[in-house]
Structure formats: structure tokens, C-alpha cells
Copies of this chain bind each other. A is one copy, B any other.
Amino acid sequence: MSVTVDDELWSAVGDPTRRRMLDLMLADGFGTATSLSDRLPVTRQAVAKHLGVLHRVGLVHATPSGRERRYEVDEEQLARAVAQLASVGASWDARLHRIKRIAEAIQRDREN
């Protein structure tokens, strides 16, 4: 069964830079465009765009604090994303195992 997956969420998490941003924010508690870009090989503007994407799908939420905007991960939404990764992986896993069993069955048949 083709696991119904929210492509928006998946593709938000699909970008390697965005994954590293999530990692950093999880590690530090929060992050700003500038602070994240300091620790990533991309410019502040690139980070800002990614934050926009993450915000749009609800993976982070922002709180303006003085002259900076602090972003922190929405844990529940990230959990939802993780669940989707797991669910797709599990679906493929199941199919692969079934195939393997069938292949083994065929192999056994041939030996008779």
C-alpha cells in the first residue's frame, strides 16, 4: 500500500541544509539566521529562506527578540516528520522482506 505521505513535510526535511539546521537548533535550543549561517557553509540569506520553508510547514516557530528572530523546533511537528520517514522505510522494508522470502522459496523449489 502506498503509504500516504505529506510531501510538504517530507521535502522540507529532505533538504540536507535544512536537516543540519534542525540539528543545530535541536542542539542549541534555538537559532537565528545569522547564528546558523555562522555554522553552515551557506550565507545568511540562504538560511533565512530555509527558515521560511521550515516555518511554513510548521517545523519551527519564530519569536522576535529585539533585533533578532529566534527560531526553535516544533517538536511535535518534527515527530510527525520522523514518523513519516519511519513509515515509508517500514513499508519498503516489508516489501523487501517479502521479496526475499519469495526469492528463497523459488530457490528452494529449484533445488528439488
Given known A-B contacts A10-B16, A16-B5, A19-B5, A96 and B83 have beta carbons under 8 A apart: no
Which bracket fits the contact residues of A? 35 or more
Question: Which of A20-28, A41-49, A50-58, A60-68 is found at the contact surface with chain B?
Answer: A20-28
The 29 listed contacts between A and B (C-beta, < 8 Å) are A1-B112, A2-B20, A3-B112, A4-B112, A10-B16, A23-B91, A23-B95, A26-B99, A75-B99, A75-B100, A76-B102, A78-B96, A79-B93, A79-B96, A79-B100, A79-B102, A79-B103, A79-B106, A80-B103, A80-B106, A82-B92, A82-B93, A82-B99, A82-B103, A83-B106, A83-B110, A85-B89, A86-B86, A86-B89
Using a CB–CB distance below 8 Å, which chain A residues touch chain B?
Answer: 1-5, 7, 10-11, 14, 16, 19-20, 22-23, 26-27, 73, 75-76, 78-80, 82-83, 85-89, 91-93, 95-96, 98-100, 102-103, 106-107, 110, 112
